Amino acid sequence: MRHFDFKDGEMYAEDVPLSQIAAAVGTPVYVYSTATFERHYKVFSEVFSDVEALVAYSVKANSNIAVLATLAKMGCGADVVSGGELIRALTAGIPAEKIVFSGVGKTVEEMRLALSSGIRIFNVESLQELDALNRTALDMGVVAPIAFRVNPDISAGGHEKISTGKAENKFGIAWHSAEEAYARAAAMDGIRIDGVDVHIGSQIDSLDPFRRTIDKVGDLIGRLRSAGHTIKSFDIGGGLGIPYGNNAKIPPHPSDYGAMVKEATKDLDVELIFEPGRMVSGNSGVLLSRVIYAKATGTRNFLILDAAMNDLIRPALYDAYHDIEAVRAPGADFDETLYDVVGPVCETGDTFARSRALPPMSDGDLVVFHTAGAYGAAQASQYNTRPLVPEVMVNGEHYEVIRERPTVEDILKTERLPSWLA
C-alpha cells in the first residue's frame, strides 16, 4: 500500500491532503509518512527475526530526531558517523548499546563522547584511528569494542560518487593488511576485538556484490579465528537499493536480500549487523513544492519551482532521478507537456529533470518529488540564502512540523561583522 496516493482527485500523505500542509506550513517542505517508515523498518527487520541481528538505521540518510524516535520505538538501532549524529540518536531514545559508530575520520573528541555513552561498537578504518582510540580508551579507563571496516575491493553502487568498496576508495583497511591490523589491535589494552565490518556502496541493484563480499569476509573470519581472535559480529553495512520509479533496474526485494544473506552466513556463527539507510527512509518522504512560474521560451517549457538544488541536491550531484507528480490529479483527458523542471537558484545545475512528461501546469500548482525521504533534507543547505527546508511528519490524519523553517533573521543571527567593520 502506498501512503502517498490520490484520494478524491488530490494527493494525500496517509490521511492528510498535501494541499493542506502546503497551505499551513508553506513550500518547499518535506513530508514524511510514519506508516511508511514503520512498514519499511518491519519489512527489513522481520527478515532477520529468526537470527541474531541488529538493524542499525544509517542516520545520515534522514537524521531528524522525529524519524529516529519513530524507528527507536520499533527497536531499531543506529549507525552514526559523527558526534552530532550520535547525540541525535541518543536524544531520540536509541539505546547506546544499539549504536555503531562508522566513518573514516573520527576525532578524539567524538571517541570520548562515544566511549562515555557506551556505544555498541566502533567500526575502525585505519591504524591511526586504532592508535587514537586505544589511547583515548586507556586515558578514560575503559575498553573500546571494535570491528575493522575492511575494504573487500568489490565494485558496487549506483553512482561512482557513492561506491565505497573498491581499493581506490578512501574507506576501510586495505584487504591485504586486515590480518596485520587485527594482530595489532589484539595487543592493545584499550581495545577489545568484537567483529568485522564492511560497507561496499549505496543504491546497489543486485545481490551479487553483496554475496561476493560476504563470501570473502567469511574466509577472512575463518583466518582471524585460526589466528586466535574472537569474532562475534559481522556488520554487512547498508547499500541495498530502492526503486526510484524510472527505467533503472529494480533492486532486489529485502526478503530476497535477507534470504541470500542468511544462507551465505549460516555457518559463520556471528551476530549480523545491518546499516540500511535509503531502504528505510527513501520512500517514506516526498518533497512538496509549488510552481512559481510556468515559463515557455519557445524552445522549452520550464517549470520554475520554489524548491531548488539546495533543498534536494541528488539530481544535481548524482544525476539522480526522482518521480515528479502533480498534487492535483489530472482530469481524464489531457495532453502531457514536456517540462524542464528547475529551481530558482542561479546555476544551470539547478535542474531536477529535463523533458519530463507532466499534465499541463500553471503558476501556483503543487508538485511532489517522490522517494525523497533519504538524502533529501539531510543534504539540504542554505545556498542562495534560502532558509533550510522544513520537515513535516504525518501520522494517520495528524501532522506536525518536525523541523521549522528558519527565518532569514535566524540565518543572519549566526554571522558577525569583524571589529574593523562594526
Q: Which residues bind ligand LLP (CB under 6 A)?
A: 58, 61, 79, 102, 162, 199, 202-203, 237-239, 275-279, 314, 318, 375
Q: Which is nearer to ligand LLP, 205 or 275 (CB)?
A: 275
By C-beta, is 278 or 403 nearer to ligand LLP? 278
Minimum distance between the CB of residue 85 and ligand LLP, rounded to whole angstroms?
Answer: 11
Q: Which of 1, 187, 332, 346 is catalytic?
A: 346
- Three-state DSSP at 92 gives coil
Give min distance, CB of 318 to ligand LLP, in A.
6
Given a contact cutoff of 8 angstroms between Cβ atoms, the answer to whether 387 and 408 are in contact is yes
Residue 325: CB minimum distance to ligand LLP, A: 20
Q: What is the DSSP letter of 383?
A: G
Residue carrying C-alpha cell 520550464: 302
Which cell numbers in the block locate residue 179? 590480518
Handedness of CA 195, 196, 201, 205 (dihedral sign): negative
Of 60, 27, 19, 66, the C-alpha closest to 386 is 27
State in angstroms the smallest separation of the CB of 59 from ligand LLP.
9
- Which amino acid belongs to residue 135? R
Cβ neighbours of residue 292 under 8 Å, at least 6 residues apart? 304, 305, 306, 344, 363
Q: What is the smallest separation between the CB atom of 203 and ligand LLP, expressed in angstroms?
A: 6
Could you tell me the smallest distance in angstroms from the CB atom of residue 229 to ligand LLP? 22
- With respect to ligand LLP, which residue has the nearer C-beta, 163 or 301? 163
Q: Which long-range contacts (CB under 8 A, 24 or more apart) does 137-143 make?
A: 137/111, 137/190, 137/191, 138/189, 138/190, 140/112, 140/115, 140/116, 142/115, 142/190, 143/189, 143/190, 143/191, 143/192
Name which of 294 and 317 has its Cβ closer to ligand LLP.
Answer: 317
Secondary structure of residue 213 in the 3-state scheme:
helix
Q: Is 346 a catalytic residue?
A: yes
For the chain, the C-alpha Rg in angstroms (whole number) is 23
Give the active site residues. 346
